[in-house]
Amino acid sequence: MEIQENHTIWMQKAIACAQEGSTPFGALILNQQSEFVSAFNSTKKDGPTAHAEMNVLQKLKQLDYQSKNELVLYTTVEPCPMCMGGILWAGIGKIVYGASIEEVSKIIKQIKIDSHTLANKSWYQPEIIGDVLKAECLALFEGWN
Amino acid sequence: MEIQENHTIWMQKAIACAQEGSTPFGALILNQQSEFVSAFNSTKKDGPTAHAEMNVLQKLKQLDYQSKNELVLYTTVEPCPMCMGGILWAGIGKIVYGASIEEVSKIIKQIKIDSHTLANKSWYQPEIIGDVLKAECLALFEGWN
């Protein structure tokens, strides 16, 4: 088993990152050597675009890789169009998320376009895997605002 | 005539900003007092998410306003889904662009979802005005790569 295929373990780390930031949103980018960078949502401090995925994309330079296509991004919530756009522009090869935009949009305001729709309209199609530890990721929203 | 309705003048400034950065992409955000912040695309230096609109959203704190809904964002090219997502999360009230995503996607790779589609899927609908100095904005792509 390749370590990077062990989605549950890495999603647990994304969840821990979300909890560290006291938000439901945590993300990490993993390379082929099981090294990673991580970030949580920091919109209260850094402004409206500081979603976990945008924040972790800013840390790409800290990670070793030959092609961004070999990197995997884990995120507790399916990337919104802003973040999915950023992920596509970055050229990330695989995205693994917990709770879907459809589910989360019942709890918070959202731009209701899912990650598959964005990928299908771009110049390449990364692999997208959803519902990894979905219940645990949705639980992050309890008591949060 | 309200100054902020004078879209041609402000688009000229966005074009000048694009030219300053030697890219086809320039953006500015204007407040009610005709003060503005501006930015150009800096992806070569700052990574794949450093589009003009994302960069200028980072400068919002430098601008005086009561509500972001009263701000106008000018951009030489219709915002891509990443940037339009950011603009929606920021709550900008009006977007004015030059060349459309449809036109520009004939020249460069793009995520082919227009700004109206994103706005229609969000929790509020900013006003969107296109084709302001379109020819001048498209001319920015000549000789650029």
Which residues on adjacent β-strands are paired with residue A87?
none
Are A87 and A53 in contact by the 8 Å Cβ rule? The answer is yes
Q: How far apart are the first and last CA of chain A?
A: 38
- Which residues in chain A have Cβ-Cβ distances shorter than 8 Å to B82? 81-86, 88-89
From B13's Cα to the closest Cα of chain A, the distance in A is 24
A4: pLDDT strictly greater than 70:
no
pLDDT > 50? residue A109? yes
Is B53 tagged catalytic? yes
Tell me the C-alpha to C-alpha distance, in Å, between residue B97 and each of A65, B26, B62. Answer: 36, 10, 22
B69/A contact by beta carbon, under 8 A: no
B82·A89 Cβ contact <8 A = yes
Nearest to B90 among A49, A91, A113 (CB): A49
pLDDT of residue B143: 82
B22 touches chain A (CB under 8 A): no
* Identity of the amino acid at A67: S
Q: In whole angstroms, what is the distance from residue A20 CA to residue A2 CA?
A: 27
Residue A115: other Cβ atoms inside 10 A: 24
**Nearest-CA distance from B96 to chain A in Å?**
19
The two tokens of residue A140 are 């992050």
Residue A123 is predicted with a pLDDT of 96
> What's residue B34's pLDDT?
95
Nearest chain B residue to A123, by CA: B109
**Residue A36 confidence (pLDDT):** 98
B128 touches B115 (CB < 8 A):
yes
Give the H or E element holding residue A33.
Answer: none
Which of B2, B5, B20, B53 is catalytic? The answer is: B53
Contact B48 A80 (CB under 8 A): no
| Total length of chain A | 145
Determine the Cα–Cα distance for residues B23 and B111; give it in Å rounded to an integer: 19
Per the CB < 8 Å rule, is A121 touching B109? no
Residues A84, B80: C-beta atoms closer than 8 Å? no
Taking 90 as the threshold, does the pLDDT of residue A93 lie above it?
Answer: yes
Q: What is the ipTM of this complex?
A: 0.94
Burial class (CB in 10 A: 0-12, 13-18, 19+), A65: middle
Q: How confident is the model at residue A5 (pLDDT cuts 50, 70, 90)?
A: low
Instruction: State the sign of the Cα–Cα–Cα–Cα dihedral B13, B17, B23, B29.
Output: negative
Query: How many angstroms separate the CA atoms of A73 and A55, rounded?
Result: 12
Whether residue A129 has pLDDT greater than 50: yes
Residues 81-110, chain B, touching A (beta carbon < 8 A): 81-86, 88-91, 109-110
Q: How many CB atoms lie within 10 A of CB B31?
A: 18
| Reported pTM | 0.95
Contact A89 B112 (CB under 8 A): no
What pLDDT, on a 0 to 100 scale, did the predictor assign at position B1?
43
Question: Is any Cβ of chain B less than 8 angstroms from the Cβ of A42?
Answer: no
Is the Cβ pair B112, A91 closer than 8 Å? no
Of B43, B77, B78, B40, nearest to B59 (Cα)? B40
Q: What are phi and psi for residue B18, nearest 5 degrees?
A: -60, -45
Name the residue with tokens 């999915």.
Answer: A84
* Residues A17 and A28: beta-carbon distance below 8 Å: yes
pLDDT value of residue A1: 43
Q: d(Cα A54, Cα A76) in Å, to the nearest integer?
A: 13
Mean pLDDT by 10 residues, chain B (145 residues): 72 98 98 97 96 97 96 98 98 98 95 97 97 97 86
Q: How many other C-beta atoms are found inside a 10 Å radius of the C-beta of residue A4?
A: 20
Contact A111 B117 (CB under 8 A): no
- Rounded mean pLDDT of chain A? 95
Q: Can you tell me the distance from the alpha carbon of B72 to that of A8, in angstroms, rounded to the nearest whole number? A: 43
CB pairs under 8 A between A and B: 98
Please state, in angstroms and as integers, the Cα–Cα distance from residue A76 to each residue in A17, A132, B56, B104, following that order. Answer: 9, 8, 28, 33
